[in-house]
Amino acid sequence: MENISIEKAQSLVDEWIKTYGVRYFNELTNMAILTEEVGELARIVARTYGEQSFKDSDKNKNISDEMADVLWVLLCMANQMGVDLTNAFIKNLEKKTLRDKTRHKTNEKLK
């Protein structure tokens, strides 16, 4: 599959849910699932880049798959809550640019 937009990703998730998933889990369930998926990603990052050693059960997991799991649930939540993530991302980038356009460049801790 070639590169896809956020809008297309939201559409693909919606099509998958309607075809294979029966329906979206409710918002609270998806929030719990998102938290769980972020935890799984954190575990792999901690073992790959941090000081923790891998457990046997973690050795077959990979960061890209864990990130995709996080993205999947986030796309589900956006769909069921009526959030256009493309528009939300653009507005968020504009907000960050306006707020932080000089903040990080002048941060002595980053030099």
pLDDT digits (tens, 9 = 90+) for 22-45: 999 999 999 999 999 999 999 999
Q: Is residue 38 part of a domain?
A: yes
In a domain, 93, yes or no: no
Domain of 70 in residue numbering reads as: 6-84
Is the separation of the CB atoms in 80 and 27 below 8 Å?
yes
Question: What gap in Å lies between CA 33 and CA 57, rounded to an integer?
Answer: 19
Per-residue pLDDT of the chain (111 residues; tens, 9 = 90+): 689 999 999 999 999 999 999 999 999 999 999 999 999 999 999 999 999 888 888 878 899 999 999 999 999 999 999 999 999 999 999 999 999 999 998 999 998
How many domains is the chain built from?
1
Taking residue 22's Cβ as centre, other Cβ atoms within 10 Å add up to 8
Separation CA 96–CA 104 (nearest Å): 11
Give this prediction's pTM: 0.90
How far is residue 67's CA from residue 102's CA, in Å, rounded to a whole number? 30
Rounded Cα distance, 73 and 11, in Å: 13
* Tokens standing for residue 1: 């599959």
For residue 60, what is the domain's CATH number? 1.10.287.1080
